[in-house]
A and B are shown apart, each in its own frame.
Chain A
Amino acid sequence: MSQKSLLVICRKPPYGSSAARDALDIALSGAVFDLSVSLLLLDDGILQLLPDQNSGKIGEKNLNAMLGALPLYDIEQIYTSLYSLSLHGLEAERLEPAPTVLSATELQALINRHDVVLTV
């Protein structure tokens, strides 16, 4: 049986709600169950990739550090869109982990090559 592919979309920033952590947990669980998982961070979701997060100050685990573990779960790439970068005036090279930036056409292609899409 060919393995199913799962695209997890998160459009929320870290810490303000549990959405970002939930998205990560779903992605990791999917990977542990041998799904082929991709993570797409759009709009405020891209704020999860800001470096220098020191979440201990608010008594939270560092979500950005956790995203660094994705390659060990065979989730090799984090995707975002050009629009999301421009929305917050960010440059992909300054983000950690550095995301793969998609145009609108590439964004559509990414969605359409996955079996299941889950927005968190």
Chain B
Amino acid sequence: MTLHILNTSPSDRTTFLSCRQALSDEDTLLLIEDGTYWALPLHRRELSHLSARVVVLAPDCQARGIGTDSLNEVDDAGFVALTVQHTRIVSWF
């Protein structure tokens, strides 16, 4: 069980596509910093195609004015909990 952390915006498709390839079904994808722009309506569809669980970091969404409705969200404490719950962490930047 791996936690993948993505912090790049949708304009950097390569990072997202590479990360998507590396996602197993039981993994979690956490979107932080500019990665939270993947939660914009246009990009949501690509997220919904993932079989891995997708989580957004709420403060980073709020800071950027991105709505998180119907997405799994965590606060900073939840972020820490995720890192503890997973066996390993892979960062995509």
A: residues with CB less than 8 A from B are 9, 11, 42-43, 81, 83-84, 87, 104, 107-108, 111-112, 114-117, 119
Query: With A117-B90, A119-B90, A119-B91 known to touch, is A111 a contact of B22 (CB < 8 Å)?
Result: yes
Are A116 and B21 in contact, CB atoms less than 8 angstroms apart?
A: no
**C-alpha gap A84/B21 in the complex (Å):** 11
Q: Are A116 and B88 within 8 A (Cβ)?
A: yes
- B contact set with A: CB distance below 8 Å: 2, 14-15, 17-18, 21-24, 27, 88-93
6 sampled A-B residue pairs with Cβ under 8 A: A43-B14, A84-B18, A104-B22, A117-B2, A117-B89, A117-B90
Give the docked Cα–Cα distance between A104 and B50 (Å): 14
Which one of A43, A108, A117 contacts B24 once the chains associate, using CB atoms below 8 Å? A108
**Residue in contact with B88 in the complex, picked from A83, A107, A111, CB distance below 8 Å:** A111
A108 touches B23 (CB 8 A): yes
Q: Max chain B CB contacts within 10 Å: which of A81, A87, A108?
A: A108
Closest 10 CB pairs of A and B: A104-B21, A108-B24, A119-B91, A117-B90, A117-B88, A107-B22, A43-B14, A42-B18, A43-B18, A107-B21
How many angstroms between the C-alpha atoms of A91 and B88 in the bound complex?
31
Asked if B21 and A83 sit within 8 Å, CB to CB, the answer is: yes
Point out the residues of chain A lying under 8 angstroms from B23, CB to CB. Answer: 108
In the docked arrangement, what's the CA distance between A111 and B21, Å? 11
B14 / chain A contacts, CB cutoff of 8 Å: 43, 87
Query: Is the pair A115, B88 in contact by a Cβ cutoff of 8 Å?
Result: yes
- Give every chain B residue within 8 A of A11 (Cβ-Cβ): 15, 18
Residues of B contacting A107 in the complex (Cβ-Cβ under 8 angstroms): 21-22
Contacts A81-B21, A83-B17, A108-B24 given; indicate if A119 touches B88 (C-beta within 8 A).
no
List, in ascending order, chain A residues with CB within 8 A of B18's CB. Answer: 11, 42-43, 81, 83-84
Nearest residue, chain B, Cβ from A42: B18
